[in-house]
Amino acid sequence: TKCAPHPKPKRAPPSLVSPSCARVVCRHRRNIMASNATAASAAAYELVWGDGVVGTWLLGMTVAFLTLMPLSHALFPKSLKKEGAFLLCFELVAAVPLAYCGFVGADAWLYRLDDFTDSAQRLYGTSPHAVRILQCNFSFQAWDFFISFFHKELRSPEMLAHHSLAAMLCYWALTMPYMHYYAVYFMGVVEISSVPLVLVDICKYYPELQRRFPALDLGAKVAFGLLFLAAGGPGEATL
């Protein structure tokens, strides 16, 4: 018996698009993707830097720190002779954005978020109060990250990681935008406890101050503990 002949392979239909046209189409698509990426980058830049708030915070904290350094040495020459003025000036400057975030956050959380009634709004809704908090917190975390490299007490890996991650979260929340409702609480309200923590850290860095004013140190520690528990316990239960 004869074997059946093998079927001839079918030829692929000729392409309707010439190679030169295909290259043009691919190049056009790449240009569109590049232009979209550029537009997204420009929009993100505008949301973070466009109104000048972040730049003003960064400049203000830097100028305040550089002004306080010689002023502190002039006012407390003996007290700062051993430890130096760096940590004192750092803590005094840090207290301002932390207090601002805490105040704006508490005000917004209590009185200005009535429109966030469902989960979709809490995830994707925007709030001008959250924007103010996020801009301030982003500025502080970025400033804190870079200035920490100038003192060994501040540049521990865990603190550098904390500042960089917090700044990244603020950046994402500003540019997406995303979770403004929760940003008011976690980037704003909880920072209230950081204000007495400034005094706790100053007394830790300058033991002479702790010995001369033990009530100030104790009061700051108690205030920090109570505010931290209030923000982290009953406060989170209302989210």
Per-residue pLDDT tens, the chain, 239 aa: give them.
Answer: 555 555 655 555 555 555 665 565 566 555 544 444 444 455 677 888 889 999 999 999 999 999 999 998 888 777 777 778 999 999 999 999 999 999 999 999 999 998 899 999 999 999 999 999 999 999 999 999 999 999 999 999 999 999 999 999 999 999 998 999 999 999 999 999 999 999 999 999 998 888 999 999 999 999 999 999 988 765 565 66
pLDDT at position 49 = 86
At 100 the pLDDT is 98
Q: Residue 48's pLDDT is what?
A: 87
pLDDT value of residue 236: 60
Please report the pLDDT score of residue 33 as a whole number: 46
Residue 21's contacts (CB-CB under 8 Å, 6 or more residues apart) are none
Q: What does the block give as tokens for 147? A: 């200035």
Count the Cβ atoms, other than its own, within 10 Å of residue 62: 14
How many angstroms separate the CA atoms of 74 and 97, rounded?
Answer: 25
